[in-house]
């Protein structure tokens, strides 16, 4: 057992009994939404996982301890602290533990801690990727490298449209990460169901995804898989509108000199403002949709 890891008793019991468990990230709580909507959403997503037959394990770092599964009080704490909590990627992990600090886990660190705990399926909103202009800035999310090395299936609504989606797919291909489209052959683009880009393979059931995971394990293949799950049709936003809004937000971030891990929170907040809150409602809907599918995949693995 990892000496820095605390597994919530409900999660530990489910894992010991071979019951399905779904990991959930905490960056969406502290950096993705305002309080108290962040707390309400986190608890609602956990409830979606339960309703679909799995145990939720929201992951974070509290007081220098890795947490696989949080109490309601701990989720409330993260929601109230908001952006005071460090947005934590792989590079930050050892420092926060050594200093006894709190951390909200990104896709990369949620994958790492889930794998340490023995959790094989993780639901999030959208992954990070290759940023626009990365040929100059070298701004590439650590999420992609983690997908290449950590054995967890990540269910998402694709990569955020603020990214260079074509280069993100190229990067994943180079590192051997299969990109699956649930019920689709096209890569979803977070707020919209299509991007005009193809995924590697279409899959049509949780059982099919579970079989792919099992075969990868039998073959001894390292790294995760990316399951892209389009936002529900009723919540999908107009591509022209959202892409224009994204372009404007990206230009504003560049003009203000916003870089690194501050970019995504700024862009999400600005897009919310520019869409009159519609993007936030769409974000909540797609996270719940991904949690539902992740729970069914975790159940099929059993």
Q: For the chain, how many structural domains are there in total?
A: 1
Per residue in 146-167, pLDDT (tens digit) is 999 999 999 999 987 778 899 9
136 or 94: which leads in pLDDT? 94
Residue from 25, 74, 76, 146 carrying the catalytic annotation: 25
pLDDT at 246: 78
- pLDDT of 1 above 70: no
Q: What are phi and psi of 217, to 5 degrees?
A: -65, -45
Per residue in 166-217, pLDDT (tens digit) is 999 999 999 999 999 999 999 999 999 989 999 999 999 999 999 999 999 9
CA distance 246 to 235: 17
CA distance 182 to 179: 10
Range of the domain at 29: 5-301
CA distance 175 to 170: 9
* Percentage of the chain lying above the pLDDT 70 cut: 98
160 in active site: yes
pLDDT at 261: 66
- pLDDT of 267 above 90: no
Average pLDDT, whole number, for the chain?
A: 93
Cis geometry, peptide bond prior to residue 36 (ω within 30 degrees of 0) = yes
242 or 168: which leads in pLDDT? 168
Q: How confident is the model at residue 249 (pLDDT cuts 50, 70, 90)?
A: confident
How many helices and strands, by DSSP H and E, does the chain display?
A: 13, 11
74 in active site: no
What CATH code is carried by the domain that includes residue 241? 3.40.1790.10
Q: Rounded to whole angstroms, what are the CA distances from 198 to 73, 158, 232, 240?
A: 42, 12, 19, 19
- Report helix, strand or coil for 59: strand
Q: What are phi and psi of 79, to 5 degrees?
A: -65, -40
Residue from 46, 74, 76, 160 carrying the catalytic annotation: 160
- pTM given for the model: 0.93
- Average pLDDT (3-28) is 97
Report which listed range, 33-42, 239-248, 265-274, is most confident: 33-42
Per residue in 21-76, pLDDT (tens digit) is 999 999 999 998 889 999 999 999 999 999 999 999 999 999 999 999 999 999 99
């Amino acid at each position: 057992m990892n000496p820095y890891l605390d597994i919530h008793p409900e999660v530990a019991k489910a894992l010991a009994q071979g019951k399905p468990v779904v990991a959930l990230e905490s960056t969406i709580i502290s950096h993705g939404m305002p309080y108290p909507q962040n707390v309400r959403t986190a608890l609602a997503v956990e409830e979606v996982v339960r309703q679909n037959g799995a145990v939720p394990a929201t992951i974070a770092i509290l007081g220098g301890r890795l947490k696989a599964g949080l109490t309601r009080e701990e989720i409330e704490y993260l929601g109230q602290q908001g952006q005071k909590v460090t947005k934590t990627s792989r590079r930050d992990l050892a420092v926060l533990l050594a200093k006894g600090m709190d951390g909200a886990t990104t896709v990369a660190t949620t994958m790492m801690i889930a794998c340490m705990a023995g959790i094989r399926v993780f639901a999030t909103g959208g992954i990070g990727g290759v940023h626009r202009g990365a040929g100059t800035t070298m701004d590439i999310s650590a999420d992609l490298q983690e997908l290449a090395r950590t054995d967890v299936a990540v269910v998402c609504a694709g990569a955020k449209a603020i990214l260079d989606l074509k280069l993100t797919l190229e990067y994943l291909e180079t590192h051997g990460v299969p990109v699956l489209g649930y019920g689709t052959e096209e890569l979803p683009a977070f707020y919209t169901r299509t991007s005009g880009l193809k995924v590697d393979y279409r899959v049509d059931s949780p059982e099919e995804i579970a079989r792919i995971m099992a075969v990868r394990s039998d073959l001894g293949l390292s790294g995760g898989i990316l399951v892209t799950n389009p936002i529900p049709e009723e919540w999908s936003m107009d591509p022209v509108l959202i892409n224009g809004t994204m372009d404007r937000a990206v230009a504003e971030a560049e003009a203000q000199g916003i870089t690194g891990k501050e970019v995504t929170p700024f862009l999400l907040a600005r897009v919310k403002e520019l869409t009159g809150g519609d993007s936030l409602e769409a974000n909540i809907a797609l996270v719940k949709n991904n949690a539902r599918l992740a729970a069914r995949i975790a159940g099929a693995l059993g």
